[in-house]
Structure 1
Amino acid sequence: MTEHTLTVAGVAVDPRHWIGGERVASAGTFTDVSPVDGRALGEIARGTPAEAVAAVAAAKAAFPAWAATPRAERARILHAIADGVEERLEELAIVETTDNGALLRSHRRGVMPRVAHNFRFFADRSLTLDHEDFETRGHTNHVSWDPAGPCVLITPWNAPLMLATWKIAPALAAGNTVVLKPAEWSPLTASLLADIAAEAGLPAGVLNVVQGYGSEIGDALTSHPDVRRISFTGSVPTARRIAASAAPHLTPLSLELGGKSPLLVFADADLDLAVDLAVEQYDNAGQVCLAATRILVEETVAEEFTRRFAEKAGALVQGDPREEATDIGPTIHPRQLEKIDGFVRRAVEAGARAVVGGHRVEERYYAPTLLTGVAQDSEIVQEEVFGPVLTLQTFADEDEAVRLADDTRFGLAATLVTGDRERADRVAGRLTAGTVWVNCFFVRDLRAPFGGSRHSGVGREGGTWSFDFYCDLKNTVTAPKGWNGHG
């Protein structure tokens, strides 16, 4: 333990950057505050463009050797990182809960095991990257995935380590080097990951972590001429700024942005299942990009659905996320809480009715909320709230359901509940969404493509699609003759 180390929930965390295999301080700091109790956790190094440029330089310097490292050796190191995550799972879980307020039980049972799985899956997948050779007039075509170079990865605060490693693991497995910029509201587990990666034998400079505000260091990272890939998860306005910054160098982008996803409930659905899936949208206090925040219910069952929903939502336990019985924890930050409350207040003023919730709970919580009487073109239906706020609308038939579902600028996901398989296939085919769940929610397989349509994103990651993004694909065409200089 050094003089710089913070102690967070009994765990030592270094608040400095990780650049070129060393801890690097900044002249300034910012205060990291826990949403659990509002307590200051410590002062975090506040990056400047100088640290951002240094991190890219370290990634560039480390790239040739890491790119030349055999895939099997890279995979071995990624598995060692996964081992380290599993060994420190409890520490990672409690630190992340303290830092971002998500449920400790979820971090223990789902999120941190997924972090380890991210490394294992992409490590193994890199070893199977292959495309069958094919011939053109006797010439052989051979497709290969070549490492692209230094990658800048910018990640959000709602699932910090899981979403960071969803990007880091394939980038490293592909042979690239990484500069990670974690969200300033939840930076701590990124720092712990840097320690774990170093202990696992990841060479210096292959993974770098720069903390701070995007407004202060973002452009230095995304406009840098040596950066070969940028992957960002966050808001549409920030994505526009990143795209503009990357444009002069034509740096390829992968953007996973917001959502305003629908949940369609047909009259032939299992209503208990539909209610369960709807209430599940309050997961992580509604701070989930995939959440189906627009509930669309066939009008003949809407009254019964609403009654059952209100009963089930009313039984949810809101409180300390470290407690096993808690279902909904706090909102990440007072600024986010104010944003959520503003959305609801304006909706009610416009004529909406809060069937469930509709108000703050103490200083750090927002009550699970369901609003009815909302217009399709209203702000509350069209804009992402990113909090525990759902709307309920009704539809008369399948055509109206699809029209309402697709009538936003987003297209990240959709969920539909029906007892008719033919209808499920028909409606799923008509919906604009990167992922459609039928009679289920949040079932994710790393082999599948993930991303959004329209304003919900650009590109797909997951499975081979991740390597398609993080690599330069090459086709080598070889003539059947001519090895000795003669035809």
Structure 2
Amino acid sequence: MEKIANYINGELIAPKSSQYMDDVNPATAEVFAQIPLSNDKDLQYAIDAAEKAFPVWSNLSVKERANYLNKISKLINENLDELAKAESQDTGKPVQLAQTVDIPRASANMEFFAHAITQFSSESHAGINSINYTLRKPLGVVACISPWNLPLYLFTWKIAPALASGNCVIAKPSEITPYTAYLFSKICMEAGLPKGVLNILHGKGPEIGNAIVSHKNIKAVSFTGGTATGKRIAEISAPLFRKLSLELGGKNPALVFTDCDLDKTVDGLVRASFTNQGEICLCASRIYVEKPIYEEFKEKFVQKVRALKVGNPADPSVNMGALVSAQHLNKVKSYISLAKEEGGKLLCGEEAFELIEENKKGYFLRPHVLENLPNTCRTNQEEIFGPVVSLNVFQSEEEALSLANESEYGLASTIWTNDLSKAHRIGEEIKTGIVWINCWMNRDLRTPFGGMKNSGLGREGGLEALKFFTEPKNICIEY
């Protein structure tokens, strides 16, 4: 059985503790690798390596740093099939999804920020007999902590702008899905990334994750994960006066109006609700439908959901694979039971499905659709992060907006209408950081990404990410 290694100072090394935990394939419930349990000694070694590398790395030209990121991007593409299979093995998601979304996006992240840093210009402001100009310098050693649902996709989304802007990075992938971060370590070595520039530590969040965010030499933390963990990171970081970027949970509304293209809307929302088994922070989980088309929408939507194929992630015809862990499967099932207690009517989800022998112990679940739930109930207010959505009725634009905004979260929303004026009105008033109109997950990497309220702090993506990982300094010259 393979033992995953930490990547510190340009080398793959065992943890100082010599202790490991199991890495489980969700589709088979079998252990396929061992994950290092890193500790303070591993962290200090990584910090020392990063601090030693920082003066050289930060003083490279942007073109030289961009060249390294482009090499890594190219190597990700060259190893696409291996990485996609590994991602599926670690997360339970369909291989085809990893091949077409996760791994290409990881490559695109590296390539995008390689180009973006070469276009990252400084500002100047001319006054009377003076000129002000702004320098942006890298922060130093920064931490990037990524979640389990889109492992390599979101891992590279964080480290690419950090490296491009001249920082050295201590990165921690989720202990639930660490395998592609390990393979990424090998890619960085093949690309010749200088020692100490990127260091990857594996282990549990409450242990090595907490140690990373508590270390006084970490100048900034970029974290994607649960809201409770984000709050804890903020509490630790506040006395240290460090930069924070927190991309947290979501309970995303979809508003479906009578004047929408109904078939397109149904197709779009099936995808928005159940891609990656519903384990994406951007997935639609509260669907509000205008009353005149509610019954027709419900019939078409449920029919499409029932047709989704759940099963072996290696099967190209499968739409949904396994949930990420037994613990998470039990959590999602507990919310389905709760929804029934709260008065919800189950429209689909309990249909039988066949699994091949090797998958019979895996963590599979049919997509569930419910209706008749009060907007304020726990099922409609708490993040489930699985293949569970609720359908709800509204009768006016004002009611739709009120229902959508009645949430502690504010990450993403979708609006489905052919009325352009209505789309703009609601898009401006809905309290989410991202609004998609007649689409979902149409991502332009130049745009700011992040949420409002309990969905996070700050923005990632494009120039926002490069600004986050740099410190502005204004210089004024009088002449």
1:342 counterpart = 2:334: yes
Contact 2:27/2:364 (8 A) holds in 1: no
Could you tell me which residue of structure 2 aligns to residue 199 of structure 1? 190
- 1:357 and 1:423 mapped to 2: Cα distance? 34
In the alignment, structure 1 residue 302 sits paired with structure 2 residue 297: no
Write the distance in 2 (CA, Å) between the matches of 1:289 and 1:182.
Answer: 17
What displacement does 1:35 show? 0.6
The Cα of 1:360 is off from its aligned counterpart by 9.1
Offset from partner CA, 1:344-402 (integer Å, 9 cap, x none) = 10110121111011589765111101110101110000000000000011101000000
Change (3 A) 1:360 1:390: farther
Distance (Å, rounded) in 1 between the aligned partners of 2:151 and 2:451? 19
- Residue 29 of structure 1 corresponds to 20
Which contiguous aligned blocks of 4+ residues in structure 1 show a shift greater than 3 angstroms? 358-363
> Is the Cα contact below 8 Å between 1:60 and 1:226 reproduced in 2?
no
Residue pairs, 1:185-264, within 5 angstroms:
185-264=176-255
Pair 1:67 & 2:58 matched:
yes
CA deviation after TM superposition for structure 1 residue 404, in Å: 0.2
Taking the aligned partners of 1:310 and 1:471, their CA distance within structure 2 comes to 48
Deviation of 1:237 after TM superposition, in Å, equals 0.6
Which structure 1 segments of 5+ residues have no match?
A: 7-13, 481-487
What per-residue deviation string (whole Å, max 9, x for no partner) do you get for residues 74-100 of structure 1? 001110111111111111111111111
Pair 1:325-2:317 in alignment: yes
Percent identical pairs in the alignment equals 39
Q: Relative to 1, partners in 2 of residues 1:178 and 1:408: Cα closer, same or farther, differing over 3 Å?
A: same
Aligned equivalent of 1:485:
none
Map Cα deviations across residues 314-354 of structure 1 (whole Å, 9 max, x no partner): 11110011110000110000000000000110110121111
Mapped partners of 1:227, 1:401: distance in 2: 43
Conserved? CA contact 2:6–2:12, under 8 Å: yes
Structure 2: 5+ residue stretches without partners:
354-359
Within a 5 Å distance, the mapping from 1:1-40 to structure 2 comes to 6=2, 15-26=4-15, 27-40=18-31
RMSD: 1.3
Equivalents in 2 of 1:140, 1:75: separation in Å?
30
Paired residue type of 1:337: L
Return the alpha-carbon distance in structure 1 between the equivalents of residues 226 and 152 of structure 2.
Answer: 18
1:21 CA displacement: 1.3
The Cα of 1:250 is off from its aligned counterpart by 1.3
| Alignment partners' CA distance in 2, 1:259 and 1:90 | 31
| 2:148 is the counterpart of 1:125 | no
Q: How many residues align?
A: 469
Return the letter of the residue paired with 1:432. K
Q: CA offsets per residue over residues 205-242 of structure 1, 9 Å max, x none?
A: 10101000011112211011111110000001111111
Q: Distance in 2 between matches of 1:381 and 1:180?
A: 34
In 2, the alpha carbon distance for the partners of 1:201 and 1:139 equals: 44
Q: Is the 8 A contact 1:358 1:370 kept in 2?
A: no
Whether the 8 Å CA contact 1:130–1:144 is kept in 2: the answer is no
Q: 1:483 matched to which residue of 2?
A: none
The aligned runs of 1:371-386 (5 Å cut-off) are: 371-386=370-385
| Contact 1:341/1:360 (8 A) holds in 2 | no
Name the SS for the 1:203 alignment partner: coil
2:267 aligned counterpart, secondary structure: helix
User: What code does the residue aligned with 2:307 have?
Assistant: A
TM-score (norm 1): 0.94
The aligned residue for residue 436 of structure 1 is: 435
Q: CA deviation at 1:423?
A: 0.6
Mapped to 2, the partners of 1:352 and 1:358 lie a distance apart of 14
Q: Does 1:467 align with 2:466?
A: yes
Aligned AA (1:16): A
TM-score, L = length of structure 2 = 0.96
Q: Which amino acid aligns with 2:378?
A: E
- 8 Å contact from structure 1 (residues 151, 176) kept in 2: yes
Moved more, 428-437 or 46-55: 46-55
Moved more, 185-194 or 40-49: 40-49
Q: Does the aligned pair in 1 maintain the 2:310–2:365 contact within 8 Å? A: no
